[in-house]
Amino acid sequence: MNDAQTPDQEVVDFAGRVFGAARSGDTETLAPLLEGGLPADLRNEKGDTLLMLASYHGQIEAVRLLLHHGADPGLANDRGQTPLAGAMFKGEGAIAELLIASGADVNDGGPSGKTPAVIAAMFDRVELLAMLAGRGADLDARGADGTSALDAARMMGAAKAVAYLEGSSGRR
């Protein structure tokens, strides 16, 4: 740090490269840094972890690498979003499976209150709803704001998700 308590430009540039590597899936850059002691749960100025960025951007090999080095799949960013929520939002089923297998909670809405099922339902991602149900998710759970996956699907006009959720819970 310099006298003004701002990060040195070299540190800012390094951080930019590290977070860029997570976004782009550059495991050749990330692997030696992680092996050299870079924290797997390093966060940027928005609270995004390397795992959050890799998950959101569909970088499955980077996700594997970060999880192998101990990244926590349950850490939320400053907006209360988890890596699993990011994978649901982007429709990244294989990444969601990997995060769940590594301990991500299928019912955790994080501080934002939107459960993974609510996010999948909002975007009419029936295959992700089925995967979540198969991993023990409570599709009827309500987030912090009281919204269920079915409510979210109805609000967004996600017809396939509405049909799936009504059928899976026996409601009509």
Neighbours of 100 (CB within 10 A): 21
At 2-17, the pLDDT tens digits run: 455 666 888 888 989 9
Query: For 105-144, how does the pLDDT look when each residue is reduced to its tens digit (9 = 90+)?
Result: 999 877 667 899 999 999 999 999 999 999 999 999 988 8
Task: Specify whether the CB–CB gap between 43 and 78 falls below 8 A.
Answer: no
Global pTM? 0.88
CATH number of 7-104: 1.25.40.20
pLDDT at 114: 86
Spatial distance between the Cα atoms of 127 and 151, rounded to a whole number of angstroms: 18
In angstroms, the Cα distances linking 121 to 106, 114, 137 are 14, 11, 13
**Other CB atoms within 10 Å distance of the CB of residue 109:** 24
DSSP 120: H
106-172 has the same fold as 7-104: yes
- Chain Cα centroid distance, residue 159: 24
Looking at the structure, give the CATH architecture of the domain made up of residues 106-172.
Answer: Alpha Horseshoe (1.25)
